[in-house]
Amino acid sequence: MSQSHKVAVVVGSLRKESWNRKIALALQKLAPASLQLSVVEIADLPFYNEDLDASPPAAWSRFRDEIRASDAVLFITPEYNRSVPAALKNALDVGSRPYGHSVWSGKPGAVISASPGQIGGFGANHHLRQSLVFLNVLMLQQPEAYLGSINKSFDDAGQLASDHTREFLSKFITAFDAWVQRVGAGGASSSGA
């Protein structure tokens, strides 16, 4: 029997009608019962500034606590200028500090990138993976997830309408579940990077 795991879903786009947020909501419906996916908000995080760590902003503490309490992390991001959005990079920085108290370290993780363009956020996906490897997130290697033409995958009500995308996301979340079950809840302690 599979153990149940809490998955923190970090959506890189702040836009209200974000395709990436729609993917996150669709995955909540497609996920096996052994994964509980919850979106962890990043829009309210002040930019990371080490001077503030002596008395961290409430939003930082809330974010760090939510990630720390999760067993795994799933990132869903658009691509901005061949990289990740600034809000997502800031979330990585906030979660990785103060030094020696990273909330990311040892957690199983995965990345999905999506774009209305054809290459599906390939650049953002790989930039994000580079940071996550440094932060000791235990990354799912396969299947890779680059969702191109994502604007054609949802109906006007924001529901997943593409059978092809639904099938791919179902396979992806099943593979992620197997990875989380294999690697284990939380992996190493949160004393890394």
Residue 30 forms part of a structural domain: yes
User: What is the rounded distance in angstroms from the CA atom of residue 119 to the CA atom of residue 147?
Assistant: 8
Does 192 map to a domain? no
Strand partners, 80: 83
Report if residue 193 sits inside a domain: no
Q: What is the pLDDT of residue 3?
A: 87
CA quadruple 10, 12, 16, 19: dihedral sign: negative
Domain-located, residue 188 = no
pLDDT of residue 163: 96
CATH code, domain carrying 102: 3.40.50.360
Q: How many domains does the chain have?
A: 1
CA gap 18, 21 in Å, rounded = 5
- pLDDT at site 192: 44
Q: Is residue 130 part of a domain?
A: yes
Count Cα neighbours of 114 within 13 Å in the Cβ-side half-sphere: 23
pLDDT at 67: 98
Is there a domain that residue 190 lies in?
Answer: no
Residue 38 lies in a domain: yes
Domain membership of residue 107 as a residue range = 5-183
Looking up tokens 């990875």 gives 179
Task: Give the chain's residues under pLDDT 50.
Answer: 186-193
